[in-house]
Structure 1
């Protein structure tokens, strides 16, 4: 019974996101892609659940702004600037993502896994573990 109570609490805390915190790159108006360790910040738990990246094309080159963001604010900003994301002079592109350090440099494409689904996030592994544990104990 105690094990069931503990596993229920673990499941609650992991699925509610209380213990999860995302890390993002953060910089203001940099003329280089500030994706190095000194620009990594911890976002505010339960408030900032996404990373935001702005790419601005100006007369003197490409400028970057990166930060933590709430999903609502980031998605509104990115959709509002979509028409200005042309890649030409005075272009502004805003993107949002929700995995650690995803507002860094574009990753090279990896081959898709052949499995029907991917268990990539830690809380998914916890759910699988707890389900397997309940089968073993029952």
Structure 2
């Protein structure tokens, strides 16, 4: 019973503290401008849509953009399926996937990472929550 109580409290803390796996992405459909502005920011579905997707289409009338939230499986399958069509020429389709907030926007200049930039990643969260669970259960025993 104690373990159930500890686990319930841990889940409450986990979700109320903003550590739920939610990402923000830009979202737009077939626009001729790069829609990387605040009015195109959406919250993706928690723990379902864990990636941002960006499609760049080269058409007769210019470059078109599609941006959205996506599940990692769907995004990676579609991006690999269109790899051969990503030429940059007319009728080219390039699909990319990324998993950091607003990463499907304008390309950021690379900057060196510092120790202040370290955050919990999706892979670290289960380990972190297990560690907290063990600490709390040992404290209550």
Shorter chain as normaliser: what TM range? 0.7 to 0.9
Equivalent-residue separation in structure 2 for 1:59 and 1:29 (angstroms): 13
Check if 1:119 corresponds to 2:118: yes
Structure 2 length normalisation: TM-score? 0.73
The SS at the match of 1:78 is helix
The 3 A distance-change label for structure 1 pair 36 and 120 is: same
Equivalent-residue separation in structure 2 for 1:122 and 1:47 (angstroms): 16
- Aligned residue-pair number: 127
Equivalent-residue separation in structure 2 for 1:122 and 1:78 (angstroms): 22
Please, what is the CA RMSD of the aligned residues? 3.4
The SS at the match of 1:77 is helix
The SS at the match of 1:73 is helix
The SS at the match of 2:49 is coil
Contact 1:18/1:46, CA 8 A, preserved across alignment = no
- How far did 1:45 drift? 1.1
Equivalent residue, structure 2, for 1:89 = 90
Equivalent residue, structure 2, for 1:52 = 53
Equivalent-residue separation in structure 1 for 2:106 and 2:72 (angstroms): 20
Equivalent-residue separation in structure 2 for 1:67 and 1:36 (angstroms): 13
5+ residue gaps, structure 1: none
The 3 A distance-change label for structure 1 pair 90 and 22 is: same
- How far did 1:19 drift? 2.1
- How far did 1:111 drift? 2.1
Structure 1 length normalisation: TM-score? 0.75
Equivalent residue, structure 2, for 1:104 = 105
Contact 1:54/1:95, CA 8 A, preserved across alignment = yes
